[in-house]
C-alpha cells in the first residue's frame, strides 16, 4: 500500500499483492457488464460469474488468419444469465461467495 505521509489528502490506490490470478474453467470471476451498450464501459457494474470455456487457441490473429473480429479468451456465464466473452485483463478473481454483491446475485 502507498504511504500518504507526504500527501495526506491523496487517495491511496490499492495495489495488488502477490502473483496475478490464474484463471481456468470453473473459476469464479468478476467483470464489468451492462446491457446498455450506449453507456460508458467504465461505469458498468461488476457482475460475477463462472468461466465456462477457454478459447486460448483462437485469440491470436494468426490463429484465425485475420486481424479483425478476433476472439476473446474466456467465455463467462454471469450469474444474471448472460454469456459474455472477455480477455484476461477484463477479469478479476471473485474471491469467496460471502461478498454482498455475490449474495444479492444469488438471491435473484
Per-residue pLDDT tens digits of the chain, which is 108 residues long: 444 444 444 444 455 565 666 899 999 999 999 888 888 888 889 999 999 998 887 776 565 677 777 677 899 999 999 999 998 888 999 875 444 444 444 444
Domain boundaries, the chain: 28-107
| The pLDDT value given to residue 2 | 43
Radius of gyration of the chain (CA): 17
The answer to whether 44 and 34 have CB atoms below 8 angstroms apart is yes
What SS3 string covers the chain?
A: CCCCCCCCCCCCCCCCCCCCCCCCCCCEEEEECCCCCCCCHHHCCEEEEEEEEECHHHCCHHHHCCCCCCCCCEEEEECCCCEEEECHHHCEECCCCCCHHHHHHHHC
What pLDDT is attached to residue 18?
A: 59
Are 23 and 92 in contact, with CB atoms under 8 Å apart?
Answer: no
Q: What is the pLDDT of residue 37?
A: 81
The pLDDT value given to residue 61? 58
pLDDT of res. 84? 92
Amino acid at each position: 500500500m502507498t504511504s500518504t505521509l507526504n500527501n495526506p489528502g491523496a487517495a491511496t490506490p490499492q495495489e495488488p499483492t502477490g502473483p496475478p490470478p490464474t484463471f481456468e474453467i470453473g473459476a469464479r470471476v468478476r467483470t464489468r457488464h451492462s446491457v446498455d451498450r450506449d453507456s460508458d464501459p467504465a461505469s458498468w457494474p461488476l457482475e460475477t460469474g463462472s468461466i465456462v470455456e477457454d478459447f486460448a487457441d483462437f485469440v491470436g490473429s494468426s490463429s484465425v488468419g485475420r486481424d479483425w473480429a478476433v476472439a476473446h479468451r474466456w467465455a463467462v456465464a454471469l450469474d444474471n444469465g448472460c454469456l459474455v466473452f472477455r480477455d484476461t485483463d477484463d477479469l478479476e478473481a471473485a474471491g469467496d461467495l460471502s461478498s454482498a454483491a455475490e449474495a444479492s446475485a444469488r438471491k435473484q
